[in-house]
Amino acid sequence: MAQSHYPPRQKCLAYNGILAVVLLALILFLLISGSTSQQNRVAIPAVILGLLLLLPLILVVYRIFTVLTTVYTLTRDYLEITWGLRRELLPIAQIDWLHPVTDFETPLPLGFTLMHGSYYTKKAVKGLGETLFIATAPEQMVLIKQDARFFVISPEDAKEFTREFEQFSQLGSLQSIQPESENLRMLWQRVWADPWAKRLLFAGAVSLALVILTSLLISMLQPQIVWVSMERVPASRAMLMPILALLFALTNTFAGLVLFIQGRLAALIRNLIWAWTILVNLILITALIFMVF
């Protein structure tokens, strides 16, 4: 029987949610200001800054996704830790010990984190070595030793989690389980080894680059373009096209990666999503060309 435990999420989600809203508002302000400005000297830097702020926004959104998908699953055979696109499977028989950090006299050195209330990183801890943190609440952290590896998690009730682990350990495993580890690098290697996935992702990247290049050339070489409303507007508004293409491509790529984890049953849907990214980019390139005339 599997017992699922979740980390405390409220504080982390509230902080990162507010940060995401602030970043989104700032990005929209810069993009709208840049696209409506009559001067390219003001418009292009504003749009570029808006594009650069997409990176921290993506990181914040992914952290929210990571926290929402963090689960610690206990069974008689294994402890499975899943978060975001990553997964660790630890056989119960190979776990040396598991203790709440409150059992130790020396606190764990957590250091500074930009993502308040979330600790998802690997760091060297004195006396332990490389330790993988998959936690949100320092007061609920549990330290796990498996062979030469150390993990830190934070179930909502650390004492109850420890008690369940001890019960399962005493019952003994029903089957032989091998440890498994999946991270973003391994997932990307699996994706890149798939011929169709490789072709579609490469074509999607090329088409996105063409959208960005086309919009930049139009913005720099043309004073005005014909917008979708059939009125002439500053050429800098063309920079909205690569922003739309980038957001669409990132969303579809992430959705495809999630489906890739599901295996072959989702392969057709995944490939259709990535192919749709290419088609949308080609449509945007065509629209940009028509806007010049």
Mean pLDDT by 10 residues, the chain (293 residues): 87 90 88 68 76 86 88 91 88 90 79 71 85 90 90 92 89 80 78 84 90 84 71 73 81 78 64 82 82 69
Tell me if 45 is assigned to some domain.
no
Tell me if 58 is assigned to some domain.
no
Tell me if 85 is assigned to some domain.
no
Tell me if 50 is assigned to some domain.
no
Q: Which two tokens stand for residue 233?
A: 């507007």
d(CA 291, CA 229): 11
Is residue 219 a contact partner of residue 35, using CB atoms and an 8 Å limit?
A: no
3-state secondary structure of 141: coil
Tell me if 176 is assigned to some domain.
no
> What pLDDT does 293 receive?
64
> What pLDDT does 39 receive?
64
> What pLDDT does 73 receive?
93
Tell me if 12 is assigned to some domain.
no
Continuous H helices in the chain: 10-36, 40-52, 54-68, 158-171, 184-193, 195-221, 240-261, 267-292
> What pLDDT does 229 receive?
61
Taking alpha carbons only, the member of 223, 231, 213, 201 closest to residue 288 is 213
What lies within 8 Å, CB to CB, of 70 at 6+ separation is: 6, 7, 81, 82, 83, 84, 134, 136
Tell me if 157 is assigned to some domain.
no
Rounded to two decimals, the pTM is 0.74
d(CA 41, CA 248): 27
> What pLDDT does 183 receive?
75
d(CA 131, CA 151): 6
198-201, long-range: CB < 8 A, 24+ apart: 200/271, 200/274, 200/275, 200/277, 200/278, 201/253, 201/274
> What pLDDT does 189 receive?
80
Tell me if 104 is assigned to some domain.
no
Is residue 74 a contact partner of residue 3, using CB atoms and an 8 Å limit?
A: yes
For 74-86, letters b (16+ CB in 10 Å) and e give bbbbbbbbbbbbb
Tokens 């003994």 found at: 172
d(CA 93, CA 179): 10
Number of domains in the chain: 1
d(CA 259, CA 39): 44
> What pLDDT does 112 receive?
62
Helices 54-68 and 10-36 cross at an angle (nearest 10°) of 150
d(CA 49, CA 12): 27
196: containing domain = 183-293
What lies within 8 Å, CB to CB, of 52 at 6+ separation is: none
